[in-house]
Amino acid sequence: MSRVLYGVSGEGSGHSSRALEIGRYLQSQGHEVHVVSYDRGLRNLAPHFTVSEIEGLHICSENNRVRPLKTIWHNLCRSRSAIRKLRALSNLFDSFQPDVVLTDFEPSAAWMARWKGVPLISVDNQHRMRYMKIVSPWRLALSRLITSTVIRFMIPPPDAALATTYFFGPVKNDRTFLFPPILRREVLSRQASLESHHLVYVTNHFDHLLTVLTQFPDQRFIVYGSNRTGQEGNLTFKGFSAEGFLADLESCQSVIGTAGFTLISEAIYLGKPYLSLPMHGQFEQQLNALCLEELGFGVNARQMTPRVLGEFLRKLPVMRERVEDYAAEHRIEDPETANAEICRKLEEQIELLTAPKVSGHKYLRR
């Protein structure tokens, strides 16, 4: 069996929820797993694996828009700490001596793997934007170019790219493999129901959305992510609770939130229509929202207005029927067999890349 060092982005919870399922599988197969992460990734994965803290990239946003200068300044202020933790990561490589490195869009471990000559496998949803042949509107051309460039700088070309997606198409090379989203066991075990509320997931600086919601007093909205609690008119604010959030997700009428890959994937699996509010300047979210609308599972709202929300509510029955049909077709009855396809491919790639006949390091450069 292999020693696996797993670099996991701590930005948001999507990366760590995916890594939890992959890491559990690897452990069940006898592999030794050591995770390196930060922030939410560190907190979410520490109860399950041996974990070391690294410095991570933080994206600053305001009013659902990426703030590049603020992001750069915030991360520059942490550079001294980052250098210290990079030295610690190098020492970890020397002591743990990984046979293979996995990365879920975490650059430190990925670049260290290249420097140390260790095989690298990416398991994420970001690499579909680099290695899938995607057709997108011209209005997203600049955002797409920036995103592709960022991915190239963030992660060196991996020996194998296992990309998760809810829309499929041709890929650019023979070392990229596409799979359905990796879902948490806690989601797979849920049974969807239909109560009166809509689930809303927002960031701290998105007050305009809340103002729009109050203009629909006959609708009930449960709001997460605003750092508030209590009742204000038709809005119920709740603090973070993994169990509470899933309970509200499985029973909601619809989901309203940013166009993050993980929440959209979970909503689709549970048959919930989605009003997506993609973050401006983030091509991945814009792509997620675009494909969601093309599939008929939701609405791509470039701006949140009363008219947009009213139209979404009017179309709910049609969208619900479509996404519920998809959910029924892709329902997984046994959570233990979930994610089997991507896990088998991962095991295959680990065996291939760690076999004695493999010498040197062949990076994807196409």
Give me the CATH number covering residue 210: 3.40.50.2000
CA dist 102 and 120 (Å) reads 6
Which band of pLDDT confidence, cut at 50, 70 and 90, is reported for residue 78? low
Output the pLDDT for position 75: 44
Q: Which domain holds residue 233?
A: 186-329
Instruction: Looking at the structure, tell me whether residues 141 and 214 fall in a common domain.
Output: no
Task: Compute the average pLDDT of residues 292-316.
Answer: 95
Is the residue at 359 inside a domain?
A: no
Give just the sign of the alpha carbon dihedral 173, 179, 180, 186: negative
Overall domain count for the chain: 2
In a domain, 346, yes or no: yes
Between residues 291 and 149, the one the model is more confident about:
291
**Angle CA(90)–CA(96)–CA(101) in degrees, nearest 5?**
75
- State whether 280 and 161 are in the same domain: no
Cα–Cα distance, 135 to 154 (Å, whole number): 23
Does residue 365 surpass a pLDDT of 80?
Answer: no
Domain shared by 96 and 11, yes or no: yes
**Max avg pLDDT among 75-84, 149-158, 347-356:** 347-356
pLDDT of residue 74: 46
Which H helix or E strand runs over 346?
Answer: helix 340-354
Q: Is residue 130 situated within a structural domain? A: yes
CA distance 38 to 8: 8
Where b means 16+ CB within 10 Å and e means fewer, 77-101 reads eeeeeeeebeeebeebbeebebbbb
At residue 280 the predicted structure's pLDDT band, cuts being 50, 70 and 90, is confident
Q: What average pLDDT does range 96-111 have in this prediction?
A: 96
Q: Is 4 helix (H, G, I), strand (E, B) or coil?
A: strand
The yes-or-no verdict on residue 62 having pLDDT over 60 is no
| Cα distance between residue 13 and residue 288, in whole Å | 17
Task: Report the predicted TM-score, pTM, of the whole model to 2 decimal places.
Answer: 0.83
Same domain membership, residue 174 and residue 92: yes
**Domain co-membership, 9 together with 149:** yes
Q: How far apart are CA 293 and CA 253, in angstroms?
A: 17
Both 40 and 113 in one domain: the answer is: yes
pLDDT at 123 over 60: yes
Verify that 259 and 324 share a domain, yes or no: yes
Q: Tell me what pLDDT residue 82 has.
A: 61
Burial letters 26-51, b for 16+ CB under 10 A, else e: beeeebbbbbbbbbbbbebbeeebeb
Domain membership flag for residue 364: no
Q: Are residues 177 and 41 in the same domain?
A: yes
Q: CA 34 to CA 38: how far, in whole Å?
A: 13
| Assigned domain for 284 exists | yes
Quote the pLDDT of residue 93.
95
Does 166 share its domain with 75? yes
* 151 assigned to some structural domain: yes
| DSSP-derived 3-state class of residue 153 | helix
The reply to whether 121 and 222 lie within a common domain is: no
Within a domain: 361:
no
Residues 272, 159 share a domain: no
Is residue 51 assigned to a domain? yes
Q: What pLDDT band is residue 237 in, cutting at 50, 70 and 90? A: very high
Residue 164 sits in the same domain as residue 225: no
Q: Give φ, ψ of 269 to 5 degrees.
A: -60, -35
